A = this chain, B = another copy of it.
Amino acid sequence: MKLQGIKPIENMTQVDRIEMNLHDYFRNENFLPGDSIPKEIELAEAMGVSRTAMREALTRFKTLGIIESKKNRGMVITEPDVLQNMNRVLNPQLLHQDTMQDFFELRLVIELGIADLLYVRKTDEDIKKLEEIVDKENAAKSKAEKLKWDIEFHATLYKISGNQTIERFQRTLMPVFDYMKNTLHIRSQEQTADYVSHKVLIQILKTGTVEDFRQGMYKHLMQYFEQIK
């Protein structure tokens, strides 16, 4: 049986073991962001390995954003940026088509799911901002400009959700969504019978219920949901 992210111990390298040791060490010593850790040589000697190997293990933690190092200042534990890490590997060129489809769906799932957050946190100012965007969208002449304001509209919704992580997550997913849009055969919105425009969505946000909004958003994104089988 082959599990994801687990490699057989027999072909584990020394650095792999050092990494595990460090992981336990950080955990057991209850290190928190801001805490400084022993210097490279001390760690290497304490573990009975060369500085080279220790550095390689430390590099892994640095890569993940779990520790940071500065010349002569030593190393400190840091709060990893989950989304940044995701950003670095979410590369359409490298990922399998199925995975891309999964993230494509995830974006739709979130777009519908944030309705509740919106209704808890929306303010009159937010609505006003959305309306301004729609005005600019309608005034836009080129297709590219329209698209720009379309994206801005949805980005603003994410902002209104008050959830920074979800907002950043969505931005991270944008290239994926873009890629899938080009890959899948997606027809234009106007061809849909009961298409819900941004303007209508705002209206629902002002006077409708959460349920209304979700249904509206579903219809607004209908062209994409059709891709799900």
Contact = CB atoms under 8 A, between A and B. Distances in A.
A5 to B, nearest CB: 4
Interface of chain A: mostly helix, strand, loop or mixed: helix
Query: Which has the most chain B C-beta neighbours within 10 Å: A106, A111, A114?
Result: A106
A218 B88 CA distance: 34
A43 interface: no
A113 B120 contact: no
A116 B109 contact: yes
Nearest to A62: B60
A215 interface: yes
Given A59-B59, A228-B120, A165 B64 contact: no
Nearest to A78: B94
Interface in A26-62: 27, 30, 32-33, 55-56, 59-60
B84 A4 contact: yes
A66 interface: yes
A113 B117 contact: no
A192 to B, nearest CB: 16
A53 B226 CA distance: 49
Interface residues on A, range: 35 or more
Interface stretch (A97-105, A133-141, A182-190): A97-105
A116 B106 CA distance: 11
Nearest to A106: B166
A110 interface: yes
B103 A113 contact: no
Nearest to A59: B59
Interface string A199-229: 0000000000001001100100000010011
26 contacts: A5-B87, A30-B93, A59-B59, A59-B60, A63-B64, A64-B89, A66-B89, A79-B94, A80-B95, A82-B90, A82-B99, A85-B85, A86-B86, A105-B117, A105-B166, A106-B110, A106-B169, A109-B109, A109-B110, A109-B114, A110-B110, A112-B116, A116-B225, A116-B228, A120-B229, A214-B214
